């Protein structure tokens, strides 16, 4: 073997190792699931590359995962005949945390310096390879890449901050991970115990799993089964396996369709509330994997569902996707676009149906996940898709008591005859909405007004523009558009027109270039004045800060 090089882990990796060692104590067995999942990924990569015609060494070997336990030596070894890793891959993949957003998360966790809920970490993050350091004080990784002309390497670390790497001989294609167990973790060198764990986590792995020479799993591509024949318990296990979590699915959508494209899909909405990763657009990965006839094409197939659907976990299998599709083609093939449109629309209709059939669960879901549909409206380029997304939204309204929500289709159904706009008012709370001068101005006309309490709601509805051919109209805009001439019969409290113009001139001189126009209105009763803006939420924030400076 060659000279041994010593390297430091990336700073975030060291922090993660600390968190893992400290907080995942009760869920130690999870490391087996993580290592099997990595082995399975490596095998799927190998299958994919073989089918897409790459030149690979030892391409005809059987693709399988072997687990061997050794009670005397206190080790558990996981060996896969997958694609393997080159030296560079071992250094980057095992020494750094690649996921964007993960750094911020770890930073936050270690700043708080408190025990973190292990489920939360794994759920949001997938601790992956490092979870093995919960049970181990020394891990060795032997890997032989199947890419041409790559020497094998041996990687070793005690998880405390550094690792060594050197060239190795006589390593067969794939990766072998030897876990030297801590004295109090000897249970993971016990075959009976390990077989139980493997059964629990890995009945869905797409390759043979062999434990101490005996097959330990059954191959079950659940998504290809008849939806009626899958039990909820099986969904739960499968969801946990593919989603890398401990919670349950709150909605399960299992369907097949042949037109306009062949699709077998199994999609889950998590029961847990979205965490930092899911809400952060940059941080989270799409959770849907793409298969073609049981062969994994891509595990985080970000092109087959829009980014706002990143909270959905599942599997999509389509016979119409060519197997040898390159990663580049995966991005802009017409088939992929078709797949994406069908999946998105079917999923939206599924959620709309939950609203009708399981209203209570839907409303809970909406509270936790409504944000994503709003993001969808902002980022979508298709009016049809925006309106389908908008059907999910719910609002409080001026014609309903606080706490009751109305949807846009319901609003349209009960609109006044002749009303052509859907009115909304953006305010931080119901109380402020009801006391707003904008609301006062429209109240007399007896139109229903939707109340939006999130700062981004206004942006969402502006992006939507229309719903069911009706314009989405901010009451602020409505007020600005008001062109009715001031009424002739001025009551005795009104200012004379010369006083009015004098007042206008004074206000203009005080506000200067901060305002475009100053005018009188007869719409207000209890408020002396109101600020209106064209229609930008951002502008409104600007106005707010300016008003604060002015007062
Ligand atoms: P993730 O699986 O979410 O990417 P992990 O920490 O589990 O994160 O693994 C990190 C990376 O190490 C993997 O993405 C993969 O590139 C590499 N890796 C881990 N185990 C194996 C293996 N058995 N064969 C090939 N590559 C592996
Ligand atoms: Mg992994």
**C-alpha closest to that of 329 among 340, 319, 321:** 321
> CA 259, 260, 263, 267 torsion: positive or negative?
negative
Residue 127 CA, ligand 1 centroid: distance in Å: 11
Burial zone of 298 (CB within 10 Å; 0-12 exposed, 13-18 middle, 19+ buried): buried
pLDDT tens digits for range 124-171: 555 678 888 889 999 999 999 999 999 999 999 998 888 999 999 999
Q: 125 labelled as ligand-binding?
A: yes
**Angstrom distance (rounded) from CA 286 to CA 305:** 8
User: Going by CA atoms, what residue is nearest to atom 18 of ligand 1?
Assistant: 38
Q: What is the token pair recorded at 530?
A: 């109101």
Q: 38 labelled as ligand-binding?
A: yes
Burial zone of 520 (CB within 10 Å; 0-12 exposed, 13-18 middle, 19+ buried): middle
14 close to 161: Cβ distance less than 8 angstroms: yes
User: Going by CA atoms, what residue is nearest to atom 1 of ligand 1?
Assistant: 128
pLDDT tens digits for range 338-393: 999 999 999 999 999 999 999 999 999 999 999 999 999 999 999 999 999 999 99
Q: 127 labelled as ligand-binding?
A: yes
Q: Cβ neighbours of residue 146 under 8 Å, at least 6 residues apart?
A: 46, 49, 56, 57, 58, 59, 83, 84, 173, 174
Q: What is the token pair recorded at 333?
A: 């093939």
Confidence of residue 490 (pLDDT cuts 50, 70, 90): low
**C-alpha closest to that of 343 among 365, 361, 367, 318:** 318
Residue 19 CA, ligand 1 centroid: distance in Å: 19
Please state the pTM of the whole predicted model: 0.70
Q: 128 labelled as ligand-binding?
A: yes
Confidence of residue 20 (pLDDT cuts 50, 70, 90): low
What would the 3-class secondary structure string for 476-489 be? HHHHHHCCCCCCCC
- Give, in degrees to the nearest 5, the angle at Cα 49 between 43 and 53: 145
Half-sphere exposure of 512 (CA within 13 A, CB side): 3
Tell me what ipTM this predicted complex has.
0.99
Residue 549: pLDDT over 50: no
**Angstrom distance (rounded) from CA 40 to CA 35:** 8
User: Going by CA atoms, what residue is nearest to atom 16 of ligand 1?
Assistant: 93
- Classify residue 326 by its DSSP letter: -
394 close to 413: Cβ distance less than 8 angstroms: no
Q: What is the token pair recorded at 343?
A: 């999946």
Pairing type for strands 449-452 and 421-426 reads parallel
pLDDT tens digits for range 48-60: 888 888 899 988 8
Q: Cβ neighbours of residue 234 under 8 Å, at least 6 residues apart?
A: 222
151 close to 185: Cβ distance less than 8 angstroms: no
Q: What is the token pair recorded at 447?
A: 């139109």
User: Going by CA atoms, what residue is nearest to atom 11 of ligand 1?
Assistant: 93
Q: In the chain, how long is the greatest CA-to-CA distance?
A: 102
**Angstrom distance (rounded) from CA 501 to CA 321:** 70
Q: 101 labelled as ligand-binding?
A: yes
DSSP H stretches of helix in 380-407: 383-390
Q: What is the token pair recorded at 493?
A: 């409290």
- Classify residue 406 by its DSSP letter: B
- Would you state the pLDDT for residue 245? 80
Residue-averaged pLDDT of the chain: 85
User: Going by CA atoms, what residue is nearest to atom 14 of ligand 1?
Assistant: 93
83 close to 145: Cβ distance less than 8 angstroms: yes
340 close to 334: Cβ distance less than 8 angstroms: no
For the chain, report the end-to-end CA distance as a whole number of angstroms.
76
Ligand 1 cavity residues, CB under 6 Å: 34, 38-39, 42, 80, 82, 85, 93-94, 126, 128-129, 175
Which ligand 1 atom sits closest to the C-alpha of 98? 4
**Angstrom distance (rounded) from CA 70 to CA 68:** 7
User: What's CA 500's distance to the chain center, in Å?
Assistant: 55
- Would you state the pLDDT for residue 540? 54
What residues pack around ion ligand 2 (CB closer than 5 A)? 37-38, 128
Residue 469 CA, ligand 1 centroid: distance in Å: 50
Confidence of residue 536 (pLDDT cuts 50, 70, 90): low
82 close to 175: Cβ distance less than 8 angstroms: yes
**Angstrom distance (rounded) from CA 162 to CA 85:** 19
Q: 327 labelled as ligand-binding?
A: yes
User: Going by CA atoms, what residue is nearest to atom 10 of ligand 1?
Assistant: 93
Q: Which residue has the higher pLDDT, 535 or 184?
A: 184
Residue 35 CA, ligand 2 centroid: distance in Å: 7
129, 146, 283, best to mutate for ligand 1 pocket (most atoms within 8 Å of CB)? 129
Pairing type for strands 466-467 and 470-474 reads antiparallel
Q: What is the token pair recorded at 429?
A: 């709370």
Q: 299 labelled as ligand-binding?
A: no
- Would you state the pLDDT for residue 121? 54
217 close to 198: Cβ distance less than 8 angstroms: yes
Q: Which ligand number lies closest to the CA of residue 82?
A: 1
Residue 129 CA, ligand 1 centroid: distance in Å: 7
């Amino acid at each position: 073997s060659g000279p041994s090089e010593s390297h430091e882990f990336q700073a975030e990796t060291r922090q993660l190792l600390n968190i893992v060692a400290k907080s995942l104590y009760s869920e130690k067995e999870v490391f087996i699931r993580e290592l099997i999942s990595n082995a399975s990924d490596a095998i799927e990569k190998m299958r994919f590359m073989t089918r897409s015609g790459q030149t690979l060494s030892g391409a005809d070997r059987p693709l399988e995962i072997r687990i061997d336990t050794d009670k005397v030596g206190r080790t558990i070894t996981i060996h896969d005949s997958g694609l393997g890793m080159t030296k560079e891959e071992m250094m980057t993949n095992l020494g750094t945390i690649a996921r964007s957003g993960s750094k911020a998360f770890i930073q936050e966790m270690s700043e708080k310096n408190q025990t973190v809920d292990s489920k939360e970490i794994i759920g949001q993050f997938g601790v992956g390879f490092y979870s093995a350091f919960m049970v181990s004080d020394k891990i060795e990784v032997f890997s032989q890449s199947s890419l041409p002309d790559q020497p094998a390497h041996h990687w070793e670390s005690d998880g405390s901050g550094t690792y060594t790497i050197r060239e190795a001989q006589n390593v067969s294609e794939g990766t072998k991970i030897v876990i030297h167990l801590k004295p109090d973790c000897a249970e993971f060198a016990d075959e009976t115990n390990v077989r139980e764990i493997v059964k629990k986590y890995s009945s869905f792995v797409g390759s043979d799993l062999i434990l101490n020479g005996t097959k330990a799993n059954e191959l079950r591509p659940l998504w290809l089964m008849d939806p009626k024949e899958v039990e909820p318990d099986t969904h739960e296990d499968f969801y946990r396996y593919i989603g890398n979590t401990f919670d349950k699915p709150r909605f399960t959508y299992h369907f097949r369709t042949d037109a306009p494209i062949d699709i077998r899909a199994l999609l889950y909405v998590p029961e847990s509330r979205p965490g930092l990763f899911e809400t952060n657009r940059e941080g989270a990965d799409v959770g849907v994997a793409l298969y073609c006839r049981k062969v994994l094409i891509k595990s985080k197939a970000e092109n087959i569902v829009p980014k706002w659907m990143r909270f959905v976990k599942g599997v999509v299998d389509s016979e119409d996707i060519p197997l040898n599709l390159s990663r580049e083609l995966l991005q802009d093939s017409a088939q992929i676009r078709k797949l994406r449109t069908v999946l998105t629309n079917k999923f939206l209709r599924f959620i709309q149906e939950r609203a009708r059939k399981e209203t209570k669960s839907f409303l809970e879901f909406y509270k936790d996940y409504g944000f994503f549909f709003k993001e969808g409206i902002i980022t979508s380029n298709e009016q049809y898709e925006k309106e389908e997304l908008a059907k999910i939204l719910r609002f409080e309204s001026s014609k309903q008591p606080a706490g009751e929500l109305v949807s846009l289709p319901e609003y349209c159904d009960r609109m006044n005859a002749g009303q052509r706009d859907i009115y909304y008012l953006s305010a931080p709370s119901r109380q402020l909405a009801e006391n707003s001068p904008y609301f006062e101005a429209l109240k007399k006309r007896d139109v229903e007004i939707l109340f939006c309490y999130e700062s981004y709601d206004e942006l969402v509805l502006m992006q939507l523009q229309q719903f069911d051919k009706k314009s989405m109209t901010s009451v602020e805009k409505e007020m600005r558009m008001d062109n009715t001439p001031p009424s002739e019969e001025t009551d005795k409290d009104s200012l004379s027109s010369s006083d009015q113009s004098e007042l206008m001139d004074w206000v203009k001189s005080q506000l200067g270039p901060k305002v475009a126009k100053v005018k009188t209105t007869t719409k207000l009763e209890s408020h002396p004045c109101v600020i209106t803006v064209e229609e930008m939420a951002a502008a409104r924030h600007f106005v707010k800060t300016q008003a604060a400076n002015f007062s």
